[in-house]
Structure 1
Amino acid sequence: MSQLKKALAENRLEIRLKHFSKYKVLIIDEVGYLPIDTDASNIFFQLISKRYEKHSTIITTNKPFSNWAEVFGSATLANAILDRLLHHSHVISIKGPSYRLKSKVEYFNSSSNAS
């Protein structure tokens, strides 16, 4: 998003959107982790629209779809993005404890049992 916002400021947004639209697979990690302002939300919609039904896009997020209106600052914009992303999609929902913390949790559990 920072590259696209910079391109917007430099009046080169269309060129950058075309660049990201050409990838056969684009992975966008942690949507909603950092705040998304109005410009970024609109640019994100444009990117998703350009890729829609042309190439694959993988999105990771810890935000449920029901909270995407808050993420993008607009229910209308969130619905338009989700409409394009979810059409022809495969949604994989992973629930449970963090895989990254698994060994640490096991360590702390075994340490507390040993004392």
Structure 2
Amino acid sequence: HGYTALFTTAGQMLGELAALDSDSALRRRLHRYASPAVLVIDEVGYLSYSNRHADLLFELVSRRYGAASTVVTTNKAFKDWS
């Protein structure tokens, strides 16, 4: 129906973002994840993340908030999410 969608795992996406060595490269890659109409992030909470990874996830969700749909899946953890 003309919508764009992107599926990724949290570990893959956050590892990729954290490995970028320049601000311009990070901005371009964040744009790649922020631009689809639907972004599916799988396995959030399954692994533990550093503060840097948490900051990157927050930045991405903030960019998408109110502009596009984000689906987060998890196999629990984060101490079982209550």
Would the TM-score normalized by the shorter structure come out above 0.5?
yes
Structure showing greater relative contact order (alpha-carbon pairs closer than 8 Å, 6 or more residues apart): 2
Normalising by structure 2, report the TM-score: 0.71
Paired residue for 1:33, among 46, 54, 70?
46
Runs of 4+ in 1 over 4 A off after TM superposition: none
Where 1:57 maps in the other structure, the secondary structure is strand
Cα RMSD, aligned residues only: 1.3
Specify the code of the residue in structure 2 equivalent to 1:38.
N
Identity %: 36
Residue pairs, 1:66-77, within 5 angstroms: 66=82
User: Tell me, which stretches of 5 or more residues in structure 1 are unaligned?
Assistant: 67-115
Q: 5 Å matches for 1:26-105?
A: 26-61=39-74, 62-63=76-77, 64-66=80-82
Counterpart of 1:6 in structure 2 is 19
Unaligned runs of 5+ in 2: 1-13
Instruction: Name the structure with the higher strand share.
Output: 2
TM-score by length of 1: 0.52
